[in-house]
């Protein structure tokens, strides 16, 4: 029989692992009906009168369920079943990487809920609510501009997450200075210094996100080690954006990273991208003419006089 499928679709949510009952719309409990799941007929064992009962649902139960009146095969009710979980307590973090302009808060759920969640964030400072400007992307982040600086009052941020199966929230409070954490230094470059077999010149730049280096200078932490040794050496630098490593092992390749921190407040940035460099090494000197007779030489492209022992070799090369 032709199924008539004109019916607006409903949505129903069910919690993972629970039983769920779906009624056939307004059809009488005792009526004879047929249920399909994604257009596949469901056997009578799932029925309780005209109600559909699904036990211990899992994600695979999500889908479209349709209820047809027994004799006329008329579609009486259609529902989209979405199986998921209520939200767990969200993880919320706030940080200022462009102090003193402002700070951002970002959040995530410790585990997926499989159904749509909505987040609401409120920021309070000195008992006033401050706007948290939502970023276009990423979606789970918003930005707060500092209206005042050097405040002794704590910021209080509350994040509430809601979905069809429940709600949860978390609140953090912090001092203005505690969340200051610059981005890592940029454009880190390490170079050998000619004629200095134990030195490396390292230069870097302020993170481009740090807005006012004059008033808010950063200090830096440099760590370096030869690739072959697993032990970092560190040096803290309170001024400037370059440093000469003077105790490098001659000829050994080094790995170098830099971190940054405001001079007075907050915490250290993450480490910068690692750069590699090997100190200057002297060019291997070629034998002088006296020592020629006693030593065979490999071919050399250097500008030194080609030893006579290679004359035959040259004439062969010219013949080819």
Partner 1 sequence: RQSIQQTYDLTRYLEHQLHALAATYLNYLGPPFNEPDFDPPRLIGAEAVPSATVDFQLWRSLNDNARLAANYQAYSHLLCYLRTMDGATPTAMPTLRHSLAHFRASLQGLLGSIAGIMASLGYPLPPPVPDGTPTPNSHFLRKMDDFWLLKELQTWLWRSAKDFNRLRKRVPPSAVMLHLETRGF
- The residue ranges that bind partner 1 (CB under 8 A) are 100, 146-154, 156, 173, 177, 214-217, 263-265
Residue 65 beta carbon to partner 1: minimum distance, rounded to whole angstroms: 49
What are the structure tokens assigned to 45, written together? Answer: 């064992």
- Residue placing its CB nearer to partner 1 in the complex, 85 or 98: 98
Residue 208 beta carbon to partner 1: minimum distance, rounded to whole angstroms: 19
> Which residue has tokens 């809920």?
113
- Residue placing its CB nearer to partner 1 in the complex, 118 or 263: 263
Q: What count of other Cβ atoms lies within 10 Å of the Cβ of residue 262? A: 21
- Residue placing its CB nearer to partner 1 in the complex, 74 or 154: 154
Question: Do strands 128-130 and 75-84 pair parallel, antiparallel, or not at all (unpaired)?
Answer: unpaired
Residue 152 beta carbon to partner 1: minimum distance, rounded to whole angstroms: 5
- Residue placing its CB nearer to partner 1 in the complex, 178 or 201: 178
Residue 181 beta carbon to partner 1: minimum distance, rounded to whole angstroms: 16
The whole-angstrom separation of Cα 262 and Cα 177 is 10
From the centroid of its chain, how far is CA 73? 52
Residue 217 beta carbon to partner 1: minimum distance, rounded to whole angstroms: 6
Q: Report residue 21: phi and psi, to 5°.
A: -115, 130
Residue 142 beta carbon to partner 1: minimum distance, rounded to whole angstroms: 19
The whole-angstrom separation of Cα 75 and Cα 8 is 10
- Residue placing its CB nearer to partner 1 in the complex, 100 or 307: 100
39-75: string of b/e by CB count within 10 Å (b at 16+)? eeebeeeebeebbbebeebeeebbeebbbbbeeeebb
Query: 215's torsion region: left (phi>0), alpha (psi -120 to 50) or beta?
Result: alpha
- Residue placing its CB nearer to partner 1 in the complex, 255 or 265: 265
Handedness of CA 45, 47, 49, 50 (dihedral sign): negative
């Amino acid at each position: 029989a032709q199924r008539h499928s004109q019916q607006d679709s409903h949505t129903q949510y069910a919690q993972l692992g629970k039983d769920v009952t779906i009624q056939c719309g307004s059809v009488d409990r005792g009526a004879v009906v047929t249920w399909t799941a994604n257009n596949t007929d469901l056997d009578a064992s799932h029925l309780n009168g005209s109600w559909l009962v699904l036990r211990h649902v899992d994600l695979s139960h999500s889908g479209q369920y349709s209820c047809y009146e027994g004799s006329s095969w008329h579609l009486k009710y259609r529902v989209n079943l979405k199986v998921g979980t209520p939200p767990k307590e969200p993880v919320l973090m706030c940080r200022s990487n462009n102090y003193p302009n402002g700070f951002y808060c970002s959040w995530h759920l410790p585990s997926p809920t499989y159904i749509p969640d909505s987040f609401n964030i409120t920021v309070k400072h000195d008992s006033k609510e401050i706007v948290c400007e939502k970023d276009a992307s990423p979606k789970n982040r918003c930005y707060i501009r500092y209206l005042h600086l050097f405040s002794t009052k704590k910021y209080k941020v509350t994040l509430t997450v809601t979905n069809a199966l429940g709600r949860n929230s978390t609140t953090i409070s912090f001092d203005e200075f505690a969340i200051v954490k610059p981005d890592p230094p940029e454009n880190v470059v390490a170079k050998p210094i000619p004629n200095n077999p134990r030195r490396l010149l390292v230069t870097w730049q302020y993170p481009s996100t740090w807005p006012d280096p004059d008033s808010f200078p950063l200090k830096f932490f440099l760590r370096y080690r030869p690739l072959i040794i697993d032990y970092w050496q560190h040096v803290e630098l309170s001024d400037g954006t370059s440093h000469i490593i003077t105790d490098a092992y001659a000829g050994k390749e080094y790995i170098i990273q830099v971190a940054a921190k405001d001079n007075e407040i907050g915490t250290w940035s993450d480490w910068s991208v690692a750069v590699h460099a090997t100190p200057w090494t002297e060019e291997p000197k070629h034998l002088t003419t006296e020592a020629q007779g006693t030593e065979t030489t490999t071919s050399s492209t250097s500008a030194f006089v080609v030893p006579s022992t290679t004359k035959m070799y040259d004439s062969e090369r010219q013949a080819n």
